[in-house]
Amino acid sequence: MLLALAIGVLAFQLTGFHIWSLGLYLALYVPLAYKMGWEIGITPSSVLVGHLLVQESTSPDLLLNEVLLFLIGTSFALLVNLYMPSREKAIQSYHLQVEEKLKDILLRFKYYLSRGDGRNQAQLVDQLDKLLDEAFKLVYLDHSDHLFHQTDYHIHYFEMRQRQSRILRNMAQQINTCHLAASESLILAQLFSKIAAQLSQTNPAHDLLDDIERYLQVFRNRSLPKTREEFETRATLLQLLREAETFIQVKVDFYQKYGN
């Protein structure tokens, strides 16, 4: 807040009390706030700077008044947060439910691939999407109720799982075209089983990318398909492998940001 006022005072003293002076303040303060992790204070701090523009003054008395307003507002928010119930346990429950549903889908993929039959995958993905919608509503409600409660991790976590859900929906459609119980299908079934076993939010999943590269090498070394059906199945399986790679990379990217 003090940094915001300092930048606001500097902007107004250099350029005068104009609306574009406020724009200069925002151009300077907002990037700094995000860099320092103070983005939650951008709005209240900017309101205080706006008061300076309206009053067309940066006098010590006015600055002291703005600081006192901020302290009163912050104190009130802290008191409210003390009595506002946390939804952390419920949110963590959704973490587990989403991971279990993802595991169910991947194990269903394994089942169908190992038997050359892929049907009714969308039902489970629909259930996953419903869970994610419920989780988002809870997380955003928790975020709005707790001014200083950090829910960015949960928001980004469920966004990551949402991206994975979209990938799984595409994969489910592709599996529907796999009618051949080929040896490649068994290889992919094994991969899906390994992914399902490493779905935890605390698992970095780096080794799974190495596994995919090994599976790709296995496919490259296999003999060419002899029939059109084998060719189409091989193409679908390779596409599924690439989709699985993207699925894992989404998790790896998330872990690189929040794993440490």
Please report the DSSP string for 109-146 in residue order: HHHHHHHT-----HHHHHHHHHHHHHHHHHHHHHHHH-
The answer to whether residue 147 scores a pLDDT higher than 60 is no
DSSP reduced 3-state for 231: helix
pLDDT > 90: percent of the chain: 20
The rounded mean pLDDT for the chain is 81
pLDDT class of 66 with cuts at 50, 70, 90: confident
Instruction: With beta carbons less than 8 A apart as the criterion, state whether 1 and 70 touch.
Output: yes
Q: Which pLDDT tens digit goes with each residue over 168-204?
A: 999 988 887 666 556 777 888 888 999 998 887 677 7
CA distance 109 to 111: 5
Tokens 């790709």 appear where? 216
Q: Which pLDDT tens digit goes with each residue over 227-254?
A: 887 787 778 878 888 899 999 999 989 8
* Residue 249, pLDDT score: 93
Q: Which domains does the chain have, with CATH numbers?
A: 2-83 (no CATH), 88-258 (1.20.120.940)
CA distance 34 to 63: 24
Question: Which one-letter amino acid corresponds to residue 89?
Answer: K
Question: Which one-letter amino acid corresponds to residue 209?
Answer: L
DSSP state of 151: -
CA distance 66 to 45: 9
Tokens representing residue 166 in the block: 């979209």
CA distance 158 to 189: 26
Using a cut of 0.95, tell me whether the model's pTM lies above it. Answer: no
* Residue 117, pLDDT score: 59
CA-nearest of 198, 172, 192 to 252 is 198
The CA-based angle 65-71-75, given to 5 degrees, is: 150
CB atoms within 10 A of CB 78: 11
Radius of gyration of the chain (CA): 26
DSSP per position, 14-78: HH-S-HHHHHHHHHHHHHHHHHTT-GGGHHHHHHHHHHHHHHT---HHHHHHHHHHHHHHHHHHH
